Structure 1
Amino acid sequence: MRPTMLAPRSLRKASVPPALLSDPTPGSLQPTRLAVHVNGAGSSCSAYLASGCRVYKIEISMDGAMVSKGKESLLIPDNAQVISSSVVDRCPHRSEIQSVALAEGEGDSCLILGTVDSYGHLIVSRLNIAADDIDRTSYAVPPRDCGVGEGSWAGICFSPMQQSTVAVARQLCKSIDIYDQDIHVRSLRTLWYPSSFSFVHCSPQVNESSSLLAIAEGSQLSIWDLRMNNNGGCVQRISGSIGDTIYSVCSSPSGPIAIGGTDRAVTIYDPRRWSALSRWVGCSKYEITGLSFSSVDQSFIYVQGVDYEITCGRWKESERAFSFRGDSNWLGFSKCANTGVVAGWCESGSIFIVDAMQL
Structure 2
Amino acid sequence: MPPTMLAARSLRKASVPPTLLTDPSPGSLPPTRLAVHVNGDGSSCSAYIASGNCVYKMEISMDGEILSRGKDSLLIPDNAQVTSSSVVDRCPHRSEIQSVALAEGGEGENCLILGTVDSYGHLIVSRLDTMADDIDRTSYSVPPRDSGIGEGSWAGICFSPTHRSMVAVARQFCKSVDVYDQDIHLRSLRTLWYPSSFSFLQCSSQVNESSSLLAIAEGSQLSIWDLRMNNNGGCVQRISGSVGNVLYSVCSSPSGPIATGGTDRTVTIYDPRRWSALSRWVGCSKYEITGLSFSSVDQSFIYVQGLDYEITCGLWKENERAFSFRGDSNWLGFSKCADTDVVAGWCESGNIFIADVRQQ
TM-score by length of 2: 0.98
Q: Distance in 1 between matches of 2:349 and 2:294?
A: 26
Is 1:347 aligned with 2:348?
Answer: yes
Q: CA distance change for structure 1 residues 47 and 134 in 2, over 3 Å: closer, same or farther?
A: farther
Equivalent AA in structure 1 for residue 16 of structure 2: V
Which secondary structure state, in structure 2, belongs to the residue aligned with residue 195 of structure 1? strand
Q: CA distance change for structure 1 residues 10 and 134 in 2, over 3 Å: closer, same or farther?
A: farther
Post-superposition offset of 1:210: 2.1
Equivalent AA in structure 2 for residue 16 of structure 1: V
Q: Distance in 2 between matches of 1:268 and 1:209?
A: 18
Q: Distance in 2 between matches of 1:166 and 1:96?
A: 20
Q: Distance in 2 between matches of 1:56 and 1:355?
A: 22
Equivalent AA in structure 1 for residue 11 of structure 2: L
Q: Distance in 2 between matches of 1:237 and 1:23?
A: 40
Equivalent AA in structure 2 for residue 101 of structure 1: A
Partner of residue 124, structure 1: 125
Deviations 1:205-239 (A, max 9, x none): 56454211000000000000011000000000000
Correspondence 1:207-356 to 2 at 5 A: 207-356=208-357
Equivalent AA in structure 1 for residue 74 of structure 2: L
Q: Distance in 1 between matches of 2:8 and 2:207?
A: 35
Conserved? CA contact 1:167–1:178, under 8 Å:
yes
Partner of residue 57, structure 1: 57
Which secondary structure state, in structure 1, belongs to the residue aligned with residue 137 of structure 2? strand
Conserved? CA contact 1:119–1:147, under 8 Å:
yes
Unaligned 5+ residue runs, structure 1? Answer: none
Q: Distance in 1 between matches of 2:210 and 2:158?
A: 15
Q: Distance in 1 between matches of 2:353 and 2:171?
A: 28
Q: Distance in 2 between matches of 1:164 and 1:198?
A: 15
Q: Distance in 2 between matches of 1:64 and 1:356?
A: 13
Equivalent AA in structure 2 for residue 270 of structure 1: D
Partner of residue 194, structure 1: 195
Is 1:91 aligned with 2:91?
Answer: yes
Q: Distance in 2 between matches of 1:233 and 1:117?
A: 25
Partner of residue 184, structure 2: 183
Q: CA RMSD in A?
A: 1.0
Post-superposition offset of 1:136: 1.6
Q: Distance in 2 between matches of 1:152 and 1:45?
A: 30
Equivalent AA in structure 1 for residue 313 of structure 2: C
Conserved? CA contact 1:103–1:158, under 8 Å:
yes
Q: CA distance change for structure 1 residues 208 and 235 in 2, over 3 Å: closer, same or farther?
A: closer
Partner of residue 174, structure 1: 175
Post-superposition offset of 1:24: 0.4
Post-superposition offset of 1:310: 0.2
Q: Distance in 2 between matches of 1:271 and 1:291?
A: 17
How many residues are treated as equivalent by the alignment?
359
Q: CA distance change for structure 1 residues 209 and 257 in 2, over 3 Å: closer, same or farther?
A: closer
Post-superposition offset of 1:96: 0.1
Q: Distance in 1 between matches of 2:6 and 2:87?
A: 35
TM-score by length of 1: 0.98
Q: Distance in 1 between matches of 2:31 and 2:100?
A: 10
Partner of residue 42, structure 1: 42
Post-superposition offset of 1:2: 3.2
Post-superposition offset of 1:340: 1.3
Unaligned 5+ residue runs, structure 2? Answer: none
Q: Distance in 2 between matches of 1:291 and 1:254?
A: 16
Conserved? CA contact 1:90–1:135, under 8 Å:
no
Equivalent AA in structure 2 for residue 87 of structure 1: V
Q: Distance in 1 between matches of 2:81 and 2:303?
A: 25
Q: Distance in 2 between matches of 1:120 and 1:185?
A: 16
Q: Distance in 1 between matches of 2:269 and 2:318?
A: 12
**Moved >3 Å (runs of 4+):** 203-209
Q: Distance in 1 between matches of 2:275 and 2:133?
A: 47
